[in-house]
Amino acid sequence: MTFLITAGPTREPIDPIRYISNRSSGKMGYAIAEAALGLGHDVILISGPVNLGPPRRAKFISVSTSDEMFEAVRRHADEPDVCVLCAAVADYKPAQVSRVKIKKRAAQLSLELIPTLDILDSLGKRQNRKFLLVGFAAETDHLEGNATKKLREKNCDIIVANDARIGMESDENELLILFRDGETKKISRAPKKILARELVKIFQNSQQKSLTKKM
Ligand code: C5P
């Protein structure tokens, strides 16, 4: 199978030297990419800026902004059997990007922010998609409720939910997996590399099941 995986944060420029971003390390997405390669799959890894070396056998695409990530995913969206959108894409970006460094002044400064394009949502809306669509939900509150809402609204097959306070910038995570048919599965706290192998096995089984159903 071919896996398309997004990982890491995005950077939304304010001016040539400043940006808005978040604390995503990319570790979960990279671990899923390594695990998929280890189980014999092909991997397209589309990554925001992180301090990790790309897996050697992956097709690696490095991006910075949410617009670049959106475009890279769009370009490759006909290839995968499984799409795992693990990236912490910024939800907002500055309405305008200053061409020159914004100077410090005594007065207060406000930034106008506009929503970014939602990559997961755009894949969920594709007509007759053949790939399994997996989204992630890192939450600080109401984990199951927020994740269930995301599963429906973004038309995913699976949502992998975690408490952002455990998983962000960490080598470990604790997961709650929600499936389209209402089934749920908990995986207790473990290193991301171990969790990644479990996840890839779950994704490949779900993809096989959905193929058999369509045959
Ligand atoms: O809505 P929220 O950002 O919490 O949803 C998280 C999920 O949506 C993750 O799978 C993330 O990769 C994806 N996402 C995306 N594009 C965005 C925002 C989130 O693909 N602009």
Cα–Cα distance for residue pair 211/215, rounded to 1 Å: 6
pLDDT value, residue 128: 87
Q: Which atom of ligand 1 is nearest to the CA of 146?
A: 4
CB of 10 shorter than 6 A to ligand 1: no
Residue 107 CB neighbour total at 10 angstroms: 5
Among protein residues, the one whose CA lies closest to atom 5 of ligand 1: 137
Q: Is 22 a catalytic residue?
A: yes
pLDDT value, residue 215: 63
Q: What confidence tens digit (pLDDT) does each residue in 72-128 have?
A: 999 999 999 999 999 999 999 999 999 999 999 989 999 999 999 999 999 999 998
Residue entry with tokens 């969920």? 124
Global model pTM greater than 0.75: yes
The SS3 call for residue 167 is helix
